[in-house]
Chains A and B, each alone.
Chain A
Amino acid sequence: MTHSSKFVIVNGTPIEVPIGFSIDDLVAYMSVEGRYAVEIGGEIIPRSEHGDHLIGDGDTVEIVSAIGGG
């Protein structure tokens, strides 16, 4: 039996994503807009690779943006 989705942790929350999702797919799925950076398993993935880099089963993903601060 093949799985059609996998569980990953995005910003501390477990979510289910379809197999074959790239970072770009995930970002669109999460409705992220504006400027952001993505880190998977503690490693920053450059923006140029977001279309090719596939989310792996059990990946810990952090998506960060700029907010107000001093």
Chain B
Amino acid sequence: MKTTQSVFAEGFDQLHIADRRFQSRLLVGTGKYKNLEETAKAIEASGADIVTVAVRRTNLGQRTGEPNLLDIISPERYTILPNTAGCYDAASAVRTCRLARELLGGHDLVKLEVLGDNKTLYPDVVETLRAAKILCEDGFAVMVYTTDDPVVAKELESIGCVAVMPLAAPIGSGLGIQNRYTIRTIVENAAVPIVVDAGVGTASEASVAMELGCDGVLMNTAIAEAKHPVLMASAMRKAVEAGREAYLAGRMPRRAFASASSPIDDVSPS
């Protein structure tokens, strides 16, 4: 159900990643929700096509009666993007991607994230570059989470990543884009989609990312930790669409001084 009236027809201005086309430029995570029901409702409200998941040891032995995540977030309806969250080196990230590809029946689109520090969850770009090289050579379509360093972003692209995903701010911080200059530089230099991933906190921050020319925004905590996640998901959907339309519309120039909006002639004197 469309909650906004876009000027674009369905199918226009789609997000191109690898050889796939997506209508939504909002990508969402599935972590931190109260339960699976809330997860499903929020994802539905977000309008997202691409949904991230984590790969972990299966809970064994006890039948909890709860359905599995992928029963609720169906790979038939959504494009599942397994992540390598929890990996602190290239080897474990590569292993996680291979396990994910196997559990999803050969599906090879992955989100690569290799962290360097468990307090800030900041990416380890050295290990990220290493993992990206191995994964791209192994036939994965890698969407790579990274810092907002323009040189690293370009290097990840040249290694063969299908999308580069610079952080706005640390994961779960909700601080919004901390450096518009570097994000803009990455966008200007890129030949692959740029998706801001991590650190977005509220709707306006998602719009800012799109107004800078980013191709999409990926978020999890901003929705899951809102007081009303389903409502925030709806807000984010609109924010990403609004920011994208504003970007395509070509904003007015900024001015140091005022420029009257009403005619200055023919004022009836008092």
- Whether B234 sits at the interface, judged by CB under 8 Å, is no
Of all chain B residues, the one with the shortest Cβ separation from A46 is: B102
Task: Return the contact of A66 from the options B70, B171, B198 (Cβ within 8 A).
Answer: B70
Q: Is the CB of A70 within 8 A of B52?
A: yes
Take A32-B58, A35-B68, A36-B58 as given contacts and tell me if A67 and B102 are in contact as well, using a CB distance cutoff of 8 Å: no
Q: Which residues of B contact A69 (CB under 8 A)?
A: 29-31, 52-54, 83, 85, 220
Assembly CA distance A55 to B54 (angstroms): 27
Of all chain B residues, the one with the shortest Cβ separation from A63 is: B58
Q: Is the CB of B102 within 8 A of A68?
A: no
Interface residues of B in 172-187 (CB under 8 A from A): 172
- Whether B235 sits at the interface, judged by CB under 8 Å, is no
| Contact count A vs B, C-beta below 8 Å | 108
CB-defined interface of B27-38 with A at 8 Å, one 1/0 digit per residue? 001111100000
Q: Is the CB of B102 within 8 A of A65?
A: no
Q: Is the CB of B31 within 8 A of A68?
A: yes
Determine how close the nearest CB of chain A comes to the CB of B202; give it in whole angstroms: 16
- Whether B190 sits at the interface, judged by CB under 8 Å, is no
Interface residues of B in 46-62 (CB under 8 A from A): 52-58, 60-62
Task: Return the contact of A12 from the options B57, B98, B99, B100 (Cβ within 8 A).
Answer: B57
Q: What's the interface size class on B, roughly? A: 35 or more
CB-defined interface of A30-70 with B at 8 Å, one 1/0 digit per residue? 11111111110000101100000000000000111111111
Q: Is the CB of B31 within 8 A of A65?
A: no
Task: Return the contact of B31 from the options A32, A44, A70 (Cβ within 8 A).
Answer: A70
Task: Return the contact of B61 from the options A30, A35, A37 (Cβ within 8 A).
Answer: A30
- Whether A11 sits at the interface, judged by CB under 8 Å, is yes
Determine how close the nearest CB of chain A comes to the CB of B36; give it in whole angstroms: 8
- Whether A8 sits at the interface, judged by CB under 8 Å, is no
The chain B residues found within 8 Å of chain A, CB to CB, are 29-33, 39, 52-58, 60-63, 68-71, 75, 80, 82-83, 85, 95, 98-100, 102-105, 171-172, 198, 219-221
Selected A-B contacts with CB under 8 Å, 20 pairs: A11-B57, A30-B60, A31-B61, A36-B103, A37-B99, A39-B99, A44-B102, A62-B57, A63-B57, A63-B58, A64-B57, A64-B58, A64-B99, A65-B103, A66-B70, A66-B82, A66-B103, A68-B53, A68-B69, A69-B85
